[in-house]
Each structure stands twice: as structure tokens, then as C-alpha cells.
């Protein structure tokens, strides 16, 4: 292994609660039932695919134009909520593990479906930290398609076999395995049969890599 490609939401930081609040506000306005369990299904899934999951409970059919407006409405609120994030939201465990992996000589990259990746990294004080950032702005297929990780490996000039993907979502483990990457899975991702290294904590990455 020469590099580690990290998912962002649920691995480096915890934005679930903000996604939930913003989707919940939209769902409430539209009179659609939405709860934390449905929110769990949105992990690793693109913004538009997330909206489609929420609209499964809607009695009304919406046009593409209306859906685009709903996604923009949710994102505006989400971005507003992200303004609360600061370097204090980066845990000591994540920061010290990233520093140790860097000191051990690994290239470090992000592979996230989020179009807000750069904003989130800058809120966390990690704006200039990673060697490559592949995110929702440079892909046409979201996880479980491997594109986001393949682009990250490409940016690092490395083949997938030399990059470990770190994920919290099952869709992310599927994306890694479809792209020929080994993976470390945290939380529900650790239960996926394709997960190479199930880990209970982010810091356990050191037991695999250092």
C-alpha cells in the first residue's frame, strides 16, 4: 500500500446530523415522512439519489425541474448548517492518525460523493492537507460505482491495488471492491462481505498500515 483514500462524511467527520436536519426540513415542508432510519440509507449516496429515496414516500410525482429546486433548497440549508463546523469538529483520533500515516510515508486522499467536500475540509482546517481530492464535483456516477475512487487513484498516479479505501457506508465498500481496491470499513461498512479489514475505530488503521 502506498496511499489511503478516505471517504469524508462518517469517516473524517460527522455531517449526518446536518444532512438529516436539512432533509427533514424539506420533507416536512412537502408533507413527506422522514426519519433517522431513512436518513441512514442516504449514507454515501449522491444528493439527487438521496432525494429520490426521500420521494419514495411521496404520493405526488415531481418533475425534474421541481426535484432540482428541492435539492438546491436542501443544499442551501445544509451549507448554512455547515457554517457551525470548525477545526474543533476534527477529532484528536482522526487528526493524530492522519498525521501518523503521513509520517509513515503514505499519500493521503479524499474520495467523497459530496459536492461540499472542499467547504467541509476547509471548515475542519484540512483545506490544504490532502494530496488529492476526488469528490462529487468531478464524477458522473456516485458510489457504489467506483468512479470517485478510481479518479482519486489516478490523481495520485497509483493503481487501485496500491491504495486502501476507508469507508463507513456499504455503498462505499461496494465501490471500492468494484474498482479493485482493498477497503477498511467502520460501522455498518465493516459488516459488508467485501470489506477487507473491518475496524472498530479509525485509529485501528495504524494496525493495518504502520
Nearer residue to ligand BG6 within complex by CB, 40 or 206: 40
Listed ranges 54-62, 83-91, 108-116, 190-198: which one lies at the site for ligand BG6 (CB under 6 A): 108-116
Q: Which residues pair with 198 in a beta bridge?
A: 185
Q: How far apart are CA 194 and CA 177, in angstroms?
A: 7
Given ligand BG6, Mg ion, none, residue 168, with its beta carbon under 5 to 8 Å by kind, binds: Mg ion
For ligand BG6, which stretch binds (CB under 6 A), given 87-95, 110-118, 148-156, 174-182? 110-118
Identify the three-state secondary structure at position 10: coil
Partner whose footprint covers residue 116, from Mg ion, ligand BG6, none (CB < 5 to 8 Å by kind): ligand BG6
Residue 168 falls in the annotated catalytic set: no
Q: Restricting to residues 40-99, which ones interact with ligand BG6 according to CB under 6 A?
A: 42-47, 50, 75
The dihedral over CA atoms of 163, 167, 172, 174, expressed in degrees to the nearest 10, equals 70
Is 89 labeled as catalytic in the residue annotation?
no
Extract the C-alpha cell encoding 112.
Answer: 467523497
Extended strands (E) in the chain: 3-6, 107-111, 132-134, 163-167, 182-186, 197-199
**In the complex with ligand BG6, which residue's Cβ is closer, 16 or 194?**
16
All cell numbers assigned to 46: 449522491
Rule CB under 5 A: choose which of 142, 168, 183, 199 binds Mg ion: 168
Binding mask 8-27 for Mg ion (x = CB under 5 A): -xx-----------------
Is residue 156 within 8 A of residue 57, CB to CB? The reply is no
Taking the least distance from each CB to ligand BG6, the nearer of 97 and 114 is 114
Rank residues 7 and 153 by Cβ distance to Mg ion and give the closer one: 7
* Distance separating alpha carbons of residues 85 and 195, to the nearest angstrom: 30
Q: Distance (Å, rounded) from C-alpha 12 to C-alpha 164?
A: 15
Residue numbers at the binding site for ligand BG6 (CB under 6 A): 8-9, 19, 42-47, 50, 75, 112-116, 136
Amino acid at each position: 500500500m502506498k496511499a489511503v483514500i478516505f471517504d469524508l462524511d462518517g469517516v473524517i467527520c460527522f455531517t449526518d446530523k446536518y444532512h438529516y436536519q436539512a432533509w427533514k426540513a424539506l420533507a416536512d415542508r412537502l408533507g413527506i415522512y422522514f426519519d433517522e432510519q431513512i436518513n441512514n440509507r442516504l449514507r454515501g449516496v449522491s444528493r439527487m439519489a438521496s432525494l429520490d429515496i426521500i420521494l419514495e414516500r411521496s404520493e405526488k410525482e415531481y418533475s425534474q425541474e421541481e426535484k432540482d429546486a428541492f435539492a438546491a433548497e436542501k443544499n442551501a440549508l445544509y451549507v448554512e448548517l455547515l457554517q457551525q463546523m470548525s477545526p474543533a469538529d476534527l477529532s484528536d483520533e482522526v487528526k493524530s492518525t492522519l498525521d501518523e500515516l503521513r509520517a509513515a510515508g503514505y499519500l493521503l486522499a479524499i474520495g467523497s460523493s459530496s459536492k461540499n467536500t472542499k467547504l467541509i475540509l476547509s471548515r475542519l482546517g484540512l483545506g490544504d492537507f490532502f494530496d488529492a481530492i476526488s469528490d462529487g464535483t468531478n464524477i458522473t456516477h456516485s458510489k457504489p460505482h467506483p468512479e470517485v475512487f478510481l479518479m482519486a487513484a489516478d490523481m495520485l498516479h497509483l493503481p487501485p491495488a496500491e491504495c486502501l479505501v476507508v469507508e463507513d457506508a456499504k455503498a462505499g465498500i461496494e465501490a471500492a471492491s468494484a474498482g479493485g481496491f482493498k477497503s477498511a470499513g467502520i460501522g455498518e461498512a465493516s459488516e459488508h462481505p467485501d470489506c477487507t479489514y473491518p475496524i472498530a475505530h479509525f485509529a485501528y488503521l495504524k494496525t493495518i498500515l504502520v
